[in-house]
Amino acid sequence: MTSQETTRWAIVGGGMLGLTLAWRLAQQGRRVTVLEAAPHVGGLASAWSLGDVVWDRHYHVTLLSDSRLRTVLKELDLDDEIDWVETRAGYYADGRLHSISNAIELLRFPALGLLGKLRFGWTIFYTSKIRNWRRLEQIAVGTWLRRWAGRAAFERMWLPLLRSKLGETYRDTSAAFIWTTIQRLYAARRTGLKREMFGYVPGGYARVLERFSERLQEEGVEIRTSSPVTRIAGKDGRVEVASKDGALEEWDHVVVTAAPPLAARLCEGLEETEARQLRAVRYLGIVCASVLLDRPLSGYYVTNLLDEGLPFTGIIEMSALVRPEQLAGMGLVYLPRYVESHDPFFEVPDEEVRERFLEGLFRVYPDVGPENVKAFRISRVRHVMPLPTLYYSENVPDMDTSVPGLHVVSSAQILNGTLNVNETIGLAEDAARRFAEHP
């Protein structure tokens, strides 16, 4: 047996990052155990039941250009099954819904003059041509977009789009955010594909995760769910992990995949500068409602909201993408609200969120009402995405820590990409390559 086969690795967190890392390490011949706090794997990508329907807790699509995710899906024998669909986008402006799914519809859009539309298009084109994204970290995204798009296009188009992804934290976000978003949308064209399409695996992430778990176990990975880790500390060159029931276990290497502020709370014995750096990464969280309707809603996968005063930051209709039989013919709509991880909105009780969100949905879509709502569930996650603040890349925590054998790998290390499963898998694979050098 080589030393690689005898060293024991624990991965804290069974989201797509932890699972991919476990897989790649096991393929290097390591002995790997995944410790996941929830009763199931998948983290942000996990599925849940909504009435009689089982689907993702948060809306997920795959892009044709998501090459790393698609390689994993190929290995899981699922890539061939992806259903690819061209979707439409809606805009809610001045109390009315408009379709803006192509350039002609954008030209017809009444809420912005021709010059504003041209400057909006120009901003996308110009930003897509920039190669040195680090330069954009020095300027706030609002300043950048206002400069190139002008006031009208900024306020009518860009601001609602920024708020839909960042809530009010757009004010502290750098222009690198819009660069990475535009690069993701242009990725299909760069790879020679004429248009972008959205895809999903039939059965959703529930099916992907089930297959992933089976393959991991075949590869020798042990997956322990309902295993929250409460404390991690170095001990005589190894790493000791405490679980909620008080049990202690020693490992040669431990990789924490939770968000850095959570990792800082778990890990003892870090140098003060390291701990401070982990705590300093600001995170955006989400309160996201899933609404099951007795029928599909609108045919728009995304409805962007230009009008003020709605309680959520966008409307995503999964039933505009997914075949009716996948959702028992029902409509599935997500109402996300992105807020910073300490925002008081996390404390608003379910009943009040339900009332305010449904009122907002019925305002945008007056032809639906309470009688159409078959189920409603709320997901609250405080640590979803690191906020790409000014000079972000200069303050990213390293994967290795000063505690021998203790590593922190997380979404905070995705530098020039938006948060998505494709980038997450890329990060896991980079980490696995780096860890290949460890005994």
Q: Which stretch binds ligand FAD (CB under 6 A): 10-18, 93-101, 140-148, 212-220?
A: 10-18
Binding status of residue 411 toward ligand FAD by CB under 6 A: yes
Binding status of residue 36 toward ligand FAD by CB under 6 A: yes
Min. distance of Cβ 237 from ligand FAD in angstroms?
Answer: 23
Name the DSSP letter for residue 30: -
Q: If we measure between CA atoms, which residue out of 11, 36, 14, 38 comes closest to residue 25?
A: 11
**Can you tell me the distance from the alpha carbon of 99 to that of 213, in angstroms, rounded to the nearest whole number?**
40
Binding status of residue 13 toward ligand FAD by CB under 6 A: yes
**Can you tell me the distance from the alpha carbon of 208 to that of 63, in angstroms, rounded to the nearest whole number?**
16
Binding status of residue 388 toward ligand FAD by CB under 6 A: no
Binding status of residue 12 toward ligand FAD by CB under 6 A: yes
**Can you tell me the distance from the alpha carbon of 322 to that of 376, in angstroms, rounded to the nearest whole number?**
19
Query: Which residue is listed with tokens 């299909």?
Result: 188
Q: Which two tokens stand for residue 91?
A: 């805009």
- Complex with ligand FAD: residue 286 or 320, whichever CB lies closer: 286
For residue 341, the SS3 value is coil
Q: If we measure between CA atoms, which residue out of 71, 61, 92 comes closest to residue 24?
A: 71
DSSP strand pairing (83-85 vs 62-63):
unpaired
Hey, which residues does 10 pair with through a beta bridge? 33, 254
Question: Which member of 167, 336, 360, 426 binds ligand FAD (CB under 6 A)?
Answer: 336
Give exposure, 305-343, as e/b (b: 16+ Cβ within 10 Å). Answer: bbeeebbbbbbbbbbbbbeeebbeebbbbbbbbbbbbeb
Min. distance of Cβ 228 from ligand FAD in angstroms?
Answer: 4
Question: Which member of 9, 59, 154, 312 binds ligand FAD (CB under 6 A)?
Answer: 59
Query: Which residue is listed with tokens 């609250």?
Result: 380
Question: Which member of 4, 8, 28, 38 binds ligand FAD (CB under 6 A)?
Answer: 38
Min. distance of Cβ 199 from ligand FAD in angstroms?
Answer: 10
Amino acid at site 50? L
- Complex with ligand FAD: residue 59 or 133, whichever CB lies closer: 59
Contact between 354 and 287 under an 8 Å Cβ cutoff? The reply is no
Contact between 82 and 318 under an 8 Å Cβ cutoff? The reply is no
Q: Which stretch binds ligand FAD (CB under 6 A): 38-46, 127-135, 291-299, 319-327?
A: 38-46
Give the total of residues touching ligand FAD (CB under 6 A): 34
Q: Which two tokens stand for residue 255?
A: 């990789």
Binding status of residue 262 toward ligand FAD by CB under 6 A: yes
**Can you tell me the distance from the alpha carbon of 76 to that of 304, in angstroms, rounded to the nearest whole number?**
34
- Complex with ligand FAD: residue 257 or 319, whichever CB lies closer: 257
Binding status of residue 285 toward ligand FAD by CB under 6 A: no
Binding status of residue 274 toward ligand FAD by CB under 6 A: no
Q: Which stretch binds ligand FAD (CB under 6 A): 16-24, 99-107, 145-153, 357-365?
A: 16-24
Question: Which member of 208, 229, 335, 364 binds ligand FAD (CB under 6 A)?
Answer: 229
Min. distance of Cβ 38 from ligand FAD in angstroms?
Answer: 5
Min. distance of Cβ 5 from ligand FAD in angstroms?
Answer: 25
Residues that bind ligand FAD (CB under 6 A): 12-18, 35-38, 43-45, 58-61, 228-229, 257-258, 262, 266, 286, 288, 336, 384, 411, 419-422, 424
